[in-house]
Amino acid sequence: MGIPVAFALAGTSLIFAFIGIIFGVFEEAFLMGLPNRIYGIMTNTTLLAIPLFIFMGITLEKSKIAENLLISLSNLFSGLRGGLAIAVTLIGMLLAASTGIVGATVVTMGLLALPSMQKNGYSPELSSGTICASGTLGQIIPPSIVLVMLGDVISSSYQFSQLNLGIYSPRTVSVGDLFAGALIPGLILVVMYILYILIYSHFNPEPPKAKSSDDNKQSLGKILSVLVAPLTLIILVLGSIIMGVATPTEAAGIGASGALVISYFRNTLDMKQLSDISVSTLKITSMVFFILIGASIFSLVFRGYSGDELIHNFLTSLPGEKVSAILITMLVIFILGFILDFIEITFVVVPIIAPVLLQMGFDPIWLGIMIAINLQTSFLTPPFGFALFYLRGVAPQSIKTQQIYRGVIPFVILQILMLFLLAVFPEIVTWLPNLIYQ
């Protein structure tokens, strides 16, 4: 109906709460906890990392890093069939690690890389699929805004589940744990994308080898000059979180300050641009926190109607118990990804299902990464994948929507395969956090 999600969540919940109070089936006392919940969101220092990472991402986007990287990497891989698609995938990975904003990455790559790929003879399917898939890497490669949100929700759910099990000195899970857990799966996913492009290129007459205007040696020098600043910033941010030197919020502050310094020395920052960056950050942050408040009201009323007990009883009574529970959870999140943004799913669905799954013995870091990759997959799934809409908005009319849909299907299959690998080999996620923090 066009009603903003935050208002829909909060409004529907309050209407049902008032109906329940009138008919005596909802305890009014539940609504008394609402001010404390909202105040808890306002004073949550972990969530303060969100606006800082958003600011960092938008600032780096404005500094034309993607444009410079595309030129340099295209020349570097010019002698390889499908080299431009590989360059786009690697740029998507770097932008994911530096911006963490899916929409910004897909739109930027759509504007910069799509015309170049078409000019070099790439099919619309491979071009659009590569751009959409590489753009969604921001969901899983840290420092990801999704992982910051999931880290906060999983941490609360993990403590809640342990208290329900009678563990009164509960262990905690941090955003840094999720960052460490996501690193290897994210890199494996990039390798899978590149292998697919290489195999596709081997068995198809297109894409051709890209034309190079510079020799590879010169190109390598250029790429190093372009890469040094953002890579140093990413290593500083990620390293300080994973090694426990800084909290995610402090590291996000380093990232935001570093992005300003990079933009300043690249002569891409003036007062007008700084104002635009600040306004964009404010708008995105307001949207995220408004949805969080709406979701908090929704979960409060949901618990007031014993919805959490209903979910718990349903999942624990399934034949096959843990296997059935995780399969149904992943399927529900996958389907919801068709119609809801990752923010709503993270703040509405995860707090309801995560405590139940964690009480069943699932590792919290593994569960968080499984949900993150599932959300990433939903960004690509036709017909409602958000990445598809982002690309459709900047792609020329000559590229049909059906071609974009066909282009992403192989990458969706790769991500489902990745989920299967993590389910069979959870050590892919848990090995690095255990190594660092044990």
Which tens digits make up the pLDDT trace of 102-132?
666 787 788 888 888 888 888 899 999 999 9
Calculate what percentage of the chain has a pLDDT beyond 70: 93
CB count, 10 Å around CB of 56? 32
- For residue range 305-334, what is the model confidence (pLDDT) as tens digits? 988 788 878 888 888 778 898 999 999 888
Amino acid at 171: R
- pLDDT classification of 197: cutoffs 50, 70, 90: very high
DSSP secondary structure letter of residue 139? G
Cα–Cα distance measured from residue 382 to residue 407, given in angstroms and rounded to the nearest whole number: 10
pLDDT (0 to 100) of residue 407: 92
Matching residue, tokens 């209903």: 310
- pLDDT classification of 430: cutoffs 50, 70, 90: very high
Cα–Cα distance measured from residue 307 to residue 374, given in angstroms and rounded to the nearest whole number: 24
Cα–Cα distance measured from residue 266 to residue 260, given in angstroms and rounded to the nearest whole number: 10
Query: Residue 267 CA to chain centroid, in angstroms?
Result: 30
**Domain coordinates of the chain in residue numbers?**
5-437
Cα–Cα distance measured from residue 25 to residue 184, given in angstroms and rounded to the nearest whole number: 48
Contacts of 206 (CB under 8 A, 6+ apart): 121, 122, 123, 126
Is residue 404 within 8 Å of residue 416, measured between CB atoms? no
pLDDT (0 to 100) of residue 300: 87
